[in-house]
Chain A
Amino acid sequence: MAEFPKARDFFESSRAAVGDHELRRKLENASARHLDHFAEVKAEFPAYDDERDAAHRIKTDAIAHLDELLIELTSKLEARGCKVFFAQDAADARDYIVELAKRRGAKTVVKGKSMTTEEIELNGALERAGIDAVETDLGEYIVQLRGERPSHIITPAIHLSKEDIGQLFTDKFGIEYTAEPEKLTAEARSRLRAIFLNADFGVTGVNFAIAETGTLVIVENEGNGRLSSTMPETFVAVMGIEKVIARLEDLSHFLEILARTATGQKLTTYTSFITGPRREGELDGPGEMHVVILDNGRSSMIADPVLREALNCIRCGACLNVCPIYRRIGGHAYRSVYPGPIGSIISPNLFGSAAGYLPFASTLCGACKDICPVKIDIPRILLHLRWKESTGEHPIRWPRAIERARRGARRFAKMARHPRTVRALGNFAAMVLKPFAHNGYLRRMPGPFGNWTKYRDFPRPRPHKRSAPAPERPPS
């Protein structure tokens, strides 16, 4: 795993992104479109909130019994002829898949959309072994052609306009320029179809694994998940340990909400139930099937009762679309495979303390919690991670300016424990600042405090004894 970027890189990339008005327009358009669709489907599905409750309960319960469920799933998969490999970290998973691809003499690996394989950085490892890894989800295909990473969990190319993509296809394939999504899609279809028909090795992620039946469920719209899992002779499914649920009857609760929240559909176009390698005489399905079950920091999240809830996530991406931070900086600025609110609570655990700055990239407005289909209390977990950072459990290296401010805050915290000092200082500030106030508010403050008043006014401090509520906000 490459070293995780530093907090300073995040400040730089987010500052650049905030200034990119074109990016802002694309993100706002896409988010608004998504929220419109979601509002429509939610309005005509009165059971939505009940299903959310059910999904939350089922997932919480599954995590609480994860050891048993994984043993059951493994035995069911093995009984059907699958090879199961438990990977403790990203390197384990990567090495297993690359070794297998080498042994099978694979030249091209077709990949269905999968965040978990992004997490383990599989593509780079395959390329280093001289094997072509081809992303086949249209959005993933586009960002791969650009040499980028996805900027959204569901819509990887959300940061690109149709004109950007038209130019990309002209540059890469030498075709006549077009910005029509239909034509661009048709071009990608014919190129990828030829690759699918010849690919000998396929890799996809997994949305749900049903322990009692030993079934892997893959949810998608394009058909690339179906092709990646049925056409190649060797097929590898990669899943985090938290994807397992106990029973078949649990599944419909998730399927009823996942597509509604993720894309505003009632159900995705394709939901594939994969049961193992093909049987005698069958046309479809791989000759051999492997399931890689990845821990990579997840079991350490389970050990923390607050963090554990983050594993309920079903990767719908809705929290990104409502997040005021994501909507201003986009996915790439986070510098993590998993961006947005959910990324901020899982990245520090999957990628180590270096990502500990991410929980601070939030206004704690709670929009993510409100929309989450499995009701993860993301703001609570963000605060928990901030607390861990401040107590030295997830220490991070801040840029110098931030470190200075934090030292100042610590000094203030120490002083604030002495009420008499606070009162004396408050009275002093009230007296000194009084002449500068307009209608009870300060428009500009000196020195480092100027950063605050650059964007908003500050209520004038009042002498302690004659304290009164702050006046109505003056018209500015």
Chain B
Amino acid sequence: MAEIHKIIASLKDALGVGARSNSQAEAASAPVPVAQSAHRAALASTFARELEAVGGKFLGILTPAEVTNRIVTLAGEIGAKTVALGQGVESDMEEIGEALERADFRIVRTIPVADTERAAMRERVANADMGIAEADFAIASTGTLAVVSTGDRPSSLTLLPPASLVIVQIDRVMANLAAVLAELGAGGVAANRLTLITGPSRTADIEKRIVLGVHGPKSIHVIVVWPRDD
């Protein structure tokens, strides 16, 4: 690795090392103020407004039982035949999967795969009409979902199928991006493949006109989960 030393040496020369201070770094690190006290429901409603502003659809704040029913209804509404889903963050995705099966939808379950099975599994996820995932966090100010990818809940679920459904727990709706990054922490970000998703895939490359569904999903539906059935 001779190249790195050459470049670092030329950088040191260029920088004239020694005459630099850290004062600017400290000034820059003051975080964006976080609205800690803001009520969850208010955050969820801001999230809903911003999500719709970027072309997403908000399906409401629902209890876990309602979530399952709403997903089965949605799968019917969009004319899905096959639905792909993986593990949740806090929610029981197996319950949702079983309910979909009872309603005669075909289910693709993403489980950890050996390298030899990857291509086949990916093909099945890509051919599903809808992918279901649970986000680790939501960002109210921008209508964004923060989704960590792991072996049993891969990033493909929110990328390959033409329709995307994402659920998120209400106490995981944060005020802004800085709050979510702080919540995940440097360690959390270092360890995981993370994607921030703000609305459906889109482009404005032809005469700056917005078209949805370029490489990713054309539609994204979001349900905020109210944790208790009372």
Contact = CB atoms under 8 A, between A and B. Distances in A.
Question: Do A and B come from the same complex?
Answer: yes
A249 B50 CA distance: 23
A256 to B, nearest CB: 7
A321 B25 CA distance: 31
A222 B215 contact: yes
B150 interface: yes
B32 A256 contact: yes
A273 B149 CA distance: 10
B214 A157 contact: no
B131 interface: no
B60 interface: no
A65 B22 CA distance: 9
Interface stretch (B72-80, B192-200, B222-230): B192-200
B31 to A, nearest CB: 6
Interface in A59-73: 60-61, 64-67, 70-71
B113 A266 contact: no
Given A269-B198, A281-B113, A64 B206 contact: no
A100 interface: no
A92 B4 CA distance: 12
Contacts of B193: 272-275, 278, 284-285
A156 B24 contact: no
Nearest to B12: A67
A165 B29 contact: no
Nearest to A161: B207
B216 interface: yes
Interface residues of A, number: 101
A137 interface: yes
Given A157-B205, A230-B156, A279 B13 contact: no
A224 interface: yes
Scoring B28, B195, B198 by chain A CB atoms within 10 A of each residue's CB, the highest score goes to B28
A241 B113 CA distance: 36
B15 A283 contact: no
A172 to B, nearest CB: 15
Instruction: Rank and list the top 10 A-B pairs by shortest CB-CB distance, nearest first.
Output: A281-B112, A223-B216, A139-B205, A223-B215, A213-B190, A303-B14, A281-B151, A283-B154, A222-B214, A271-B196
Given A29-B208, A76-B190, A189-B215, 20 more contacts: A57-B24, A70-B11, A88-B7, A142-B206, A197-B122, A213-B186, A213-B190, A221-B203, A223-B216, A226-B215, A230-B156, A252-B31, A256-B177, A267-B139, A269-B199, A273-B192, A283-B122, A283-B154, A283-B156, A295-B7
Interface of B: 1, 3-4, 6-8, 10-15, 17, 20, 22, 24-25, 27-32, 50, 54, 110, 112-115, 118, 121-123, 125-126, 139, 141-144, 149-152, 154-156, 159, 176-178, 181-182, 185-186, 189-209, 211, 213-216
